[in-house]
Amino acid sequence: MAGDYDLVVVANRLPVDRVEEPDGSTSWRRSPGGLVTALEPVMQREDGAWVGWAGTPGDPPEPFDAEGVRCVPVGLSEQEVEDYYEGFSNGTLWPLYHDVIVAPGYHRSWWEAYVRVNERFAEAAAEQATEGATVWVQDYQLQLVPRMLRRRRPDLSIGFFNHIPFPPFEIFAQLPWRKAVIDGLLGADLIGFQRAADANNFTRACRRASNLPARSGRIRLDAEGGREVRAASFPISIDFAALDELAEREDVKARAAEIRRDLGNPEHVLLGVDRLDYTKGILHRLKAFEELLDDGGVKVEEASLIQVATPSRERVEQYVQLRQDVEVTVGRINGTHGTIKNTAVHYLHHSYGREEMAALFLAADVMLVTALRDGMNLVAKEYVASRHDERGVLVLSEFTGAADELGQALMINPHDIDGLKDAILRALRMSPREAGRRMRSLRRRVGDHDVQRWAASFLQALADHHTTEAAVSVA
């Protein structure tokens, strides 16, 4: 059965989450994370459908429009949320693909749920796509969908984009279902990754795990008449113009000034903005700041750190533990170094609207991005896009995808606490002239490579590849 849409995006999450209000009514809230930040402005301009989960267990709501996007919900039961979402997606794949920072769990019941739920997403996408449509599958939760979709609908042009890293084969090899995952992905015509290194890791996994002839980002499938799948990097980005404009608004600038006043106008404001996730290196950041306070490099009267941490995956064991560790650490730092007048770390376990985020970015002299591993890290790009005043210094982990592009940031290895402390001090002491020069170059890069360009180049590459392959199969 074919549907009406020429372009269908399939992602685990819809751009909005269903929220049950205390009075029993239902409302919608923007979903967390970088995938939604990036894709929402793209889909607002396209006349397509977005197939995804509405964020709560139970029967799915009817299709609806939100923020200018057609949303088609897929339902997950309580048990599937546990096994497919919290289990296989975020207890197995997420840690495995992020350098096994915590130990992945391997459970057959989680895998079975993953297969079943991927089938459901494939079915839902097939129902929305018109004859010959483009279906663009997103991220690690749905790696089997390309193959399942191709079986149902060989007429489609199928793209896949992996928002997170793809690990080196030596790590990926741990996965008991590694061949099935590779086969699932290879149902696509084009597989996009954040960095060239991720695309290389994938191509190597195809050779090593599945014995496929694969080189220079091309994987040949002899069992399918020599069909070729392309794997390449397409670094994702943000809607630069929209954020630039937002941060220029008078009310946002006034709010940034108010934030600094409310902090007691310290000389230095440092900022961290993350989902509360162990990949983000929040504890490493806090440790460096604590040591700077301990050894007098930074004084509590002069510097405040704001740490905004969006609640995330709150029932997954390692996230419960991380939250405890962060809260204990913040409590200790403030207990030791705070005064009646000055708080060292302002820890905010909330999510905020776009205006408030832009004001926070504008209020911060130093932005700390200390991820231990991150596919891209859009927060780094958002900070840059907000700084039309060409002020502020970005401290950036070399283990983010963004580090490949943002060479004028102060690069750090978050495991090297002394190096991180030195970089923070260097950022705090940097002359406005040097900071301005660096920020101008960063803004040029992000401004020239925004999310519209990312989507256009992926979709163009997909169309080109699909056309070439169709010509080969006819010949």
Report the interface residues with ligand ADP, using CB under 6 A. 33-34, 37, 273-275, 308, 310, 350-352, 357, 376-379, 382
Shortest Cβ 359–ligand ADP spacing (Å): 12
Give me the residue whose beta carbon is nearest to ligand G6P.
33
Mapped onto helix, strand or coil, the DSSP state of residue 174 is coil
Shortest Cβ 16–ligand G6P spacing (Å): 12
List the single partner that 382 binds among ligand G6P, ligand ADP, none, CB under 5 to 8 Å by kind. ligand ADP
Cβ nearer to ligand G6P, comparing 35 with 113: 35
Cβ nearer to ligand ADP, comparing 99 with 422: 99
Residue with tokens 């996408």: 125
* Token pair belonging to 86: 């919290």
Residues in the chain: 475
Mapped onto helix, strand or coil, the DSSP state of residue 278 is helix
List the single partner that 313 binds among ligand ADP, ligand G6P, none, CB under 5 to 8 Å by kind. ligand G6P
List the single partner that 13 binds among ligand ADP, ligand G6P, none, CB under 5 to 8 Å by kind. ligand G6P
Shortest Cβ 374–ligand ADP spacing (Å): 6
DSSP string for 325-380: HHHHHHHHHHHHH--SS--SEEEE-S---HHHHHHHHHH-SEEEE--SSBS--HHH
Cβ nearer to ligand G6P, comparing 34 with 159: 34
What residues have CB less than 8 Å from 28, skipping those under 6 apart? 16, 17, 18, 19, 66
Q: Which residues bind ligand G6P (CB under 6 A)?
A: 12-13, 32-35, 139, 163-164, 312-313
Tell me the CB-side half-sphere exposure of residue 195, using CA atoms within 13 A.
Answer: 21
What distance in Å separates the CA atoms of residue 87 and residue 8, rounded to the nearest whole number?
26
Shortest Cβ 37–ligand ADP spacing (Å): 3
List the single partner that 273 binds among ligand ADP, ligand G6P, none, CB under 5 to 8 Å by kind. ligand ADP
Shortest Cβ 178–ligand ADP spacing (Å): 24
Shortest Cβ 404–ligand ADP spacing (Å): 14
Q: Would you say 167 and 201 are in contact if contact means Cβ atoms under 8 Å apart?
A: yes
Cβ nearer to ligand ADP, comparing 188 with 378: 378
Q: Would you say 54 and 31 are in contact if contact means Cβ atoms under 8 Å apart?
A: no
Longest distance between any two alpha carbons in the chain, whole Å: 78
Cβ nearer to ligand G6P, comparing 195 with 313: 313
List the single partner that 377 binds among ligand G6P, ligand ADP, none, CB under 5 to 8 Å by kind. ligand ADP
Shortest Cβ 20–ligand G6P spacing (Å): 17
Start-to-end CA span in the chain (Å): 29
Shortest Cβ 418–ligand G6P spacing (Å): 30
**Residue 390, exposed/middle/buried by CB under 10 A (0-12, 13-18, 19+)?**
middle
List the single partner that 91 binds among ligand G6P, ligand ADP, none, CB under 5 to 8 Å by kind. none
Edge-first strand order for the sheet with 366-369 is 345-348, 303-310, 268-275, 366-369, 393-397, 410-412
Cβ nearer to ligand ADP, comparing 115 with 411: 411
Give me the residue whose beta carbon is nearest to ligand ADP.
34
CB atoms within 10 A of CB 242: 15
What distance in Å separates the CA atoms of residue 52 and residue 29, rounded to the nearest whole number?
15
Helix (H) or strand (E) holding 409: none
List the single partner that 421 binds among ligand ADP, ligand G6P, none, CB under 5 to 8 Å by kind. none
Shortest Cβ 375–ligand G6P spacing (Å): 6
Cβ nearer to ligand ADP, comparing 136 with 140: 140
Cβ nearer to ligand ADP, comparing 44 with 79: 44
Cβ nearer to ligand ADP, comparing 128 with 307: 307
- At 338, give phi and psi (nearest 5°): -70, 160
